[in-house]
């Protein structure tokens, strides 16, 4: 095969890959729309009706009936949260990835400030290295850091001061971003599955449905990078990110 033919074939292959990705994104947008309208509406109707029954017709129920009604409402709220997580995941999958230089230090400081202002927020002590910059899509990288910081705040024992450290390490293979916390940690033998959708690493004593790290991994993949973690039970966790 002549060099010109090889180049032409490679060009066609790239165009086909591009067309395939656009088709896939179109399908994901359709799925996202269906989730938003066809799933969200009935779930929220279930939640609303259960609340109406609880508020206006509770006298007609015995204790068992009230218990079952509470379960219906709480499971409806849980399902609504799962739908929201799926929508966030699908949006991260289909949105354009427009890279430019981003000051991650400013983004992390803003997110932590937002977290501190939330109602009933735990005490947070953060150390953020200055001028950590990356080439990334600003909106997607902010979503990534929000998921990781939320993870660090959420998975800690009640009453614990959350210690968070953010920075960048220079290695022979390139710069690596890290986020370290003092949370409950996890068993490293399960770390390969922690980024799977709806994979919970802890019991029901902690909130969430296990989509935060799946969203984080998707965003990192969209940037051509990788994400991994080091941890041990009761010794906190450190997440590492290498972006292309």
pLDDT at 10: 42
pLDDT at 19: 47
Q: Work out the angle at residue 59's Cα, subtended by the Cα atoms of residues 58 and 60, and round it to the nearest 5 degrees.
A: 90
Long-range own/partner contacts, residues 112-120 (CB < 8 A, 24 or more apart): 112/149, 112/164, 115/149, 115/150, 115/153
In the chain, which ranges are continuous DSSP H helix?
3-34, 40-56, 63-94, 104-117, 138-154, 212-222
Domain assignments of the chain as residue spans, ordered by start: 3-94, 100-242
How far is 213 from 196, CA to CA, in rounded Å? 7
pLDDT at 35: 65
How far is 70 from 51, CA to CA, in rounded Å? 9
Q: What is the mean pLDDT of each run of 10 residues along the chain (244 residues)?
A: 48 46 59 68 88 86 89 88 82 85 96 92 93 94 93 87 93 89 79 74 63 89 91 87 86
pLDDT in tens, 112-152: 999 999 988 899 999 999 999 999 999 999 999 999 999 89
CB atoms within 10 A of CB 103: 14
pLDDT at 43: 86
> Which residues does 70 contact at the CB level (< 8 Å), separation at least 6?
54
The model's pTM is: 0.74
205 in Cβ contact with 153 (< 8 Å): no
pLDDT at 192: 67
pLDDT at 161: 93
pLDDT at 61: 86
Q: What is the residue whose two structure tokens read 């051509």?
A: 224
Q: Pick from 195, 221, 217, 199: which is nearest to 208 by CA?
A: 199
Please identify, in words, the CATH class of the domain defined by 3-94. Answer: mainly alpha
Q: Which residues pair with 231 in a beta bridge?
A: 237
Please identify, in words, the CATH class of the domain defined by 100-242. Answer: alpha beta
């Amino acid at each position: 095969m002549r060099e010109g033919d090889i180049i032409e074939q490679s060009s066609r292959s790239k165009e086909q890959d591009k067309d395939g990705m656009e088709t896939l994104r179109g399908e994901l947008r359709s799925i996202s729309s269906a989730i938003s309208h066809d799933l969200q509406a009935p779930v929220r109707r279930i939640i609303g009706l259960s609340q109406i029954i609880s508020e206006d017709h509770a006298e007609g129920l015995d204790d068992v009936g009230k218990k079952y009604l509470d379960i219906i409402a709480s499971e409806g709220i849980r399902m609504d949260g799962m739908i929201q997580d799926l929508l966030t995941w699908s949006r991260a999958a289909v949105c354009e990835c427009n890279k430019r230089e981003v000051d991650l230090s400013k983004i992390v400081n803003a997110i932590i400030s937002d977290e501190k202002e939330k109602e009933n927020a735990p005490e947070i002590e953060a150390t953020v290295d200055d001028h950590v910059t990356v080439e990334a899509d600003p909106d997607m990288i902010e979503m990534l850091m929000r998921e990781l910081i939320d993870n660090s705040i959420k998975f800690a024992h009640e009453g614990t001061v959350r210690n968070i450290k953010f920075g960048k390490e220079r290695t022979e293979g390139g710069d690596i971003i890290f986020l370290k916390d003092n949370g409950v940690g996890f068993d490293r033998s399960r770390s390969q599955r922690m980024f799977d959708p709806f994979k919970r690493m802890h019991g029901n004593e902690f909130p969430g449905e296990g989509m935060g790290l799946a969203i984080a991994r998707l965003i990192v993949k969209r940037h051509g990078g990788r994400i991994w973690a080091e941890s041990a039970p009761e010794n906190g966790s450190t997440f590492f990110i290498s972006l292309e």
